[in-house]
A and B are shown apart, each in its own frame.
Chain A
């Protein structure tokens, strides 16, 4: 039992980490990035590519992949999302859905159907563990992933709250036109925010690769876990994302205990229950209730 609780918390850390970027874009820019999972897998492939062909450790590879993903984020916002966001709330969802398909198929075309993993490139760390107390072991990578999630979420929270750039991004997220009037360049602020979100996606790609295997179409499940963690934790709170990730992992663990096939189902059922409760608690029309349930409006 204790072991399962500890493992659920560690798995929650992974969910929180992969949800960071999605939650950040969702809460700050009100964009549900359906390409999040595919971009995460893309970052994983980049790290694998440098490790396989240039013998660069995935940890060192992050020094290259983080800036690359930030550049991609900047370009995505400047050339795609900024324009589509002006066309209403649905358009960015469709745009990122299409983008996910494009990324997945390009990855498939280039890397094929074989699964890849970053575990072979991190040495003994991939299997090493600590013995917490007699008979209870925790994998080192899982602990590092949980720590990474806490550090990244905390840093983002502090950055948004305490820095001029963070305030600039929050103001732009609330009202880009008014932000422009008080001297902020809203396009630049949004592009920086997307670049930041993509930097966390790079780290998530590393986490995905060192925990297990991935292929071109692994983005879908990752997106689903990240989305569920974000919604369960409540959009708008980055710490909520950490809690959401851990609660999701607990629900999956309980599901697995009830039935061996119930791991994923447990998480989905909890997600739907929380969504339904929020729908019932919300006031107003169907559209507003749905937005409230998803956390788009308060």
Chain B
């Protein structure tokens, strides 16, 4: 029986998604508040990115519903959800080719929450400064290295003035020093009151920001709560390390 509870924040009720015959999300209930920083871990194929995509509106659900601050957004497109304050980044950065870094960010700031023509430039500048990209603002986005591409992905998302920022393995592939720089930026976003939902395999980086941890496995949430408690949960350990030989 599916529950239909709503509250402030981002909420998913009993969401189900199949790709062909594969069940990628199996009746997942999820909620987070505006001022929360939630981490998601889990083995490959657990459904983490699919959950993020579902919340961001990348596809339609097979079952279930999604609410944003008490407003149902299940049938709203990704662009409509973006204008309501939910934005995601990609695991593999996807800058708009043939455009400069500033243009990439300006495109996003023009269509974000409460954006006007005048404010769009300011939002874009703020996002670029916050992501530490001033030095490459006029470079072609195609020519950026991995760290700057990840920063651009973040800057572009920030330029839309999100209330919820959904990050998909944004530290993946970065060096330790680069990850630290990124964590500092994300901590600043937390201070600004943006809700963060962050999928990350590099757990020690994630835990510098996340105050709540969710573990997924085979399309289900198997643990949810305080990070230390979740990581020591036998089910989580089993999902990560595999079951013992019987």
Contacts and interface: CB of A to CB of B under 8 A. Distances in A.
A157 to B, nearest CB: 13
Contact of A170 (B98, B117, B157): B98
A181 B97 contact: no
Given A170-B96, A174-B97, A178-B94, A183 B112 contact: yes
A180 interface: yes
B64 to A, nearest CB: 21
A interface residue count range (under 10 / 10 to 19 / 20 to 34 / 35 or more): 10 to 19
Nearest to A189: B79
A273 B185 CA distance: 53
A171 B108 CA distance: 10
B117 A183 contact: no
B103 interface: yes
A183 B79 contact: yes
Contact of A167 (B90, B99, B117, B156): B99
B interface residue count range (under 10 / 10 to 19 / 20 to 34 / 35 or more): 20 to 34
A181 B99 CA distance: 17
B211 to A, nearest CB: 26
B160 A180 contact: no
A175 interface: yes
A182 B111 contact: yes
Interface stretch (B10-18, B28-36, B80-88): B80-88
A185 interface: yes
B90 A178 contact: yes
A167 B78 CA distance: 18
Contacts of B156: 182
Contacts of B98: 170, 174, 236
Contacts of A175: 94, 96
A1 interface: no
Instruction: Tell me which of B58, B88, B103, B108 has the highest count of chain A C-beta atoms within 10 A of its own C-beta.
Output: B108
Contact of A186 (B79, B87, B96, B99): B79
A182 B99 contact: no
Contacts, number: 75
A230 B58 CA distance: 35
Contacts of B77: 180, 185
A141 B169 CA distance: 60
Interface in B30-57: 56-57
B107 interface: yes
A183 B58 contact: no
Given A168-B110, A168-B111, A180 B78 contact: yes
A164 interface: yes
B106 interface: yes
B130 interface: no
Contacts of A177: 58, 78
B110 A164 contact: yes
Given A168-B111, A181-B88, 14 more contacts: A164-B107, A167-B103, A171-B96, A174-B96, A180-B77, A180-B79, A181-B58, A181-B82, A182-B79, A182-B82, A183-B83, A183-B87, A183-B108, A185-B77
Interface of A: 164, 167-168, 170-171, 174-175, 177-186, 236
A-B pairs, top 3 by smallest CB distance, nearest first, are: A183-B111, A183-B82, A182-B108
24 contacts: A164-B106, A164-B107, A167-B107, A170-B98, A171-B96, A171-B107, A174-B97, A175-B94, A177-B58, A178-B96, A179-B79, A180-B57, A180-B79, A180-B82, A181-B58, A181-B87, A182-B79, A182-B108, A182-B159, A182-B160, A183-B83, A183-B112, A184-B111, A186-B79
